[in-house]
A and B are shown apart, each in its own frame.
Chain A
Amino acid sequence: MKAYVFTDKSLERYAGQFVWLAIDTENSKNTAFLAKYPIRVWPSLLVIDPKKESVALKYAGGATVPQLRKLLDDGRRAVMGTGARTASDEAIARADRLANDNKPAEAAVAYREAIAAAPKSWRSLGRAAESLVFSLTMARDNSRCVEEALVLYPRVKGTYSAANVAAVGLGCATELKEDDPRRANAIAALETATRETLEDKSIPLSGDDKSGLYESLVSAREELKDEAGAHALRVQWVALLEAEAGKAKTPEQRAVYDSHRVSAYLALKQPEKLIPMLEQSERDFPKDYNPPSRLSLAYKAMGKYDEALAATERALARAYGPRKIGIYRNRSDIFALKGDKESAKKTLEEAIRYAEALPKEQRSDTVIASMKKKLETM
């Protein structure tokens, strides 16, 4: 959003209507904020009522400029109490607070209430539909997630919200048990919905939104073990990414597609294609750990372990926060692939020490336990 959205001049009229806060969740300076407003999806957009220090609106995901304008208008109305408030407005605000408090099942009930009570042309229907489906996936209620996605998709079809309703619903459908009689039809219907949204030129989807939809379609084909179908989609996905990156006007905009291209080219087993673009990003952003971290993945996939290790060293020197654990783990894996078991073990031990020393808001017991379990096998 920094590369494409917050730079948009049309947002300047909102400048004096909010206090604007950017929170890097990896930065340990933000632990007090994270204790109060836990973040589980990146980015997350919040509007906070400063008097109550509570969430007035929380949206899991990025936004295009028109979407952001709507979120800002809704958030301001919720805090300032301007405009007529309906039962649905109250219910969605309650649902957002429950979602913030990590109560996704209760949040889903409140989002459903908001939708059920919605007046005709309720301005927040799309956001409520997206948030409902998303809360159900967070609550691991795949069955209801699929049901709601199938019911809500026709209501949000042709709008930006259709993308998340269809794609998140598709993810839930693939996670239904393989012997569930609804699974095949649900996947087919939500694949069609995802594809339809991707191809609807009237929806102002961003390039990375479209990439996310391709990734979702690829994952569904992989789940169905349809390798030919998955491959055909990966080829289209890469074509989209190259076209979008080619249109970028700044290095920041081009770099938005780096991580997408890493996923797509690694899935296509063409890691060598990544080297020039990632080297360019490393030159453009010499303090950023992402380009060398991604280069290490490409070199690892190419079997060039020494180059991969050198890249992890540069990434570790620039990284901070929980993300650094992933770089250590990757480095440990590269040592193991190279046959250097001792260094692999030492690096994983270093990762565990680092993870245990993080502030509690950034520490993940699950991640630490998984590393310790792996260490026992080394």
Chain B
Amino acid sequence: MRKLLLTLLLAATALPALSLPFIENDYAKALARAKAKNLPIFVDAWAPW
């Protein structure tokens, strides 16, 4: 079952051009920016497999 979910949700293996300005692997930076701009943070928590 968990195997199913993992497979259902597989991420890709490399980064093409994104339409959205993602900050990579820096929660502190995202948090500071979100507080300053009064915006929610959207997180894509993924793994390269």
Contact = CB atoms under 8 A, between A and B. Distances in A.
A281 interface: yes
Interface residues of A, number: 87
Contacts of A23: 25, 27, 43-46
A24 interface: yes
Interface string A247-285: 000111101101110010000000000000000010011
A12 B20 contact: yes
B26 to A, nearest CB: 7
Nearest to B20: A20
B42 A20 contact: yes
B16 A7 contact: yes
Given A12-B19, A50-B31, A41 B6 contact: yes
Contacts of B49: 42, 259, 290, 323
Interface string A158-184: 000001100110011011000000000
Interface residues of B, number: 45
A228 interface: no
B27 to A, nearest CB: 4
Given A2-B12, A24-B47, A61-B9, A215 B4 contact: yes
A44 B45 contact: yes
B10 A256 contact: yes
B25 A45 contact: no
Nearest to A281: B13
A61 B10 CA distance: 9
Interface in B19-49: 19-28, 30-31, 33-35, 37, 39-49
A19 B4 contact: no
Nearest to A55: B43
A29 B14 contact: no
A20 B23 CA distance: 6
B19 to A, nearest CB: 5
A22 B21 CA distance: 10
A129 interface: no
B18 A6 contact: yes
Contact of B11 (A15, A20, A42, A216): A42
A45 B43 contact: yes
A42 B43 contact: no
Given A62-B8, A171-B4, A8 B19 contact: yes
Contacts of A22: 22-25, 43-44, 46
Give the interface centre of A19, A37, A46, A163 by most chain B CB atoms within 10 Å.
Answer: A19
A2 B19 CA distance: 10
29 contacts: A1-B11, A7-B17, A11-B19, A12-B19, A12-B20, A18-B40, A19-B42, A21-B23, A23-B44, A25-B47, A29-B25, A30-B25, A37-B43, A39-B45, A46-B41, A46-B42, A48-B34, A48-B41, A50-B31, A50-B39, A53-B31, A137-B1, A168-B1, A215-B3, A219-B1, A256-B13, A259-B10, A259-B49, A323-B47
